[in-house]
Amino acid sequence: MPFLIFTNPTDIGAYSGWDFEVLPARITLRLEDMRDIYSSYVESWRDYVSRMSKESGRHKEYVRVSELARVLTHALEQGSDIELDGHDYVWSFCSELMFDLHFVTIVCPSCNRQYGSAECSVEKWAYGSGLAAEGGRRVICPSGHTLYSCGEWCS
């Protein structure tokens, strides 16, 4: 079974202001799972992309995610693992897998230890109130270190 490996980026602008630190965890996912996520995204936007400006962020995202879907499909056909930059539509697209604890392994740099998904847990977080609030979830290791986090809503 081929894998997609990436290091969780720690310089995401949304991370600023949180009262927990997101660590550069090394994450291993099933390549097929990410290919399916990318392919689903491409399929859902296929009918709209021709009407978008080629300069728009959504069009550029569509083009890159389409390319990633092809790269992952090729790696699956070859039975090869692949490593991607976590910034390259991996971090933002794998949230469902991470929060469902559907990753293979994750390495906590603080513990210097590799954990399986069954050893980790997911916690909700929220800041602010009223129309100035945001929240999401985070994956933590048994020692409480945040290894992955993503905002899921803002008011």
Q: Which residues have a Cβ under 8 Å from the Cβ of 127 and sit 6 or more positions away?
A: 17, 18, 19, 133, 134, 135
Examine residue 130 and state whether it is found in any structural domain, yes or no: no
Residue of higher predicted confidence among 63 and 80: 80
User: Does residue 17 surpass a pLDDT of 80?
Assistant: no
Examine residue 152 and state whether it is found in any structural domain, yes or no: no
> Side by side, which strands form the sheet with 121-129?
121-129, 132-140, 146-154
Examine residue 100 and state whether it is found in any structural domain, yes or no: yes
User: Does residue 85 surpass a pLDDT of 80?
Assistant: yes
Examine residue 139 and state whether it is found in any structural domain, yes or no: no
In angstroms, the CA 117 to CA 103 distance is 6
Q: Are 122 and 138 within 8 A, CB to CB? A: yes
Examine residue 33 and state whether it is found in any structural domain, yes or no: yes
In angstroms, the CA 20 to CA 75 distance is 35
**pTM of the full structure:** 0.88
Sorting pLDDT into bands at 50, 70 and 90, what band is 119?
Answer: very high
CA–CA distance from 9 to each of 26, 72, 80, 90, 111 (Å)?
10, 20, 23, 10, 18
User: Does residue 80 surpass a pLDDT of 80?
Assistant: yes
Examine residue 140 and state whether it is found in any structural domain, yes or no: no
In angstroms, the CA 43 to CA 10 distance is 30
Examine residue 53 and state whether it is found in any structural domain, yes or no: yes
Sorting pLDDT into bands at 50, 70 and 90, what band is 45?
Answer: confident
Sorting pLDDT into bands at 50, 70 and 90, what band is 51?
Answer: confident
Mean pLDDT, the chain, rounded, equals 90
Overall size of the chain counted in residues: 155
In angstroms, the CA 117 to CA 121 distance is 8
Which amino acid is present at 33?
Answer: D
Domain count, the chain: 1
In angstroms, the CA 98 to CA 86 distance is 13
Above pLDDT 90, what percent of the chain?
57
Sorting pLDDT into bands at 50, 70 and 90, what band is 36?
Answer: very high
Examine residue 143 and state whether it is found in any structural domain, yes or no: no
Domain that holds residue 71: 3-11+19-116
Write down the H helix ranges in the chain. Answer: 31-49, 57-78, 95-99
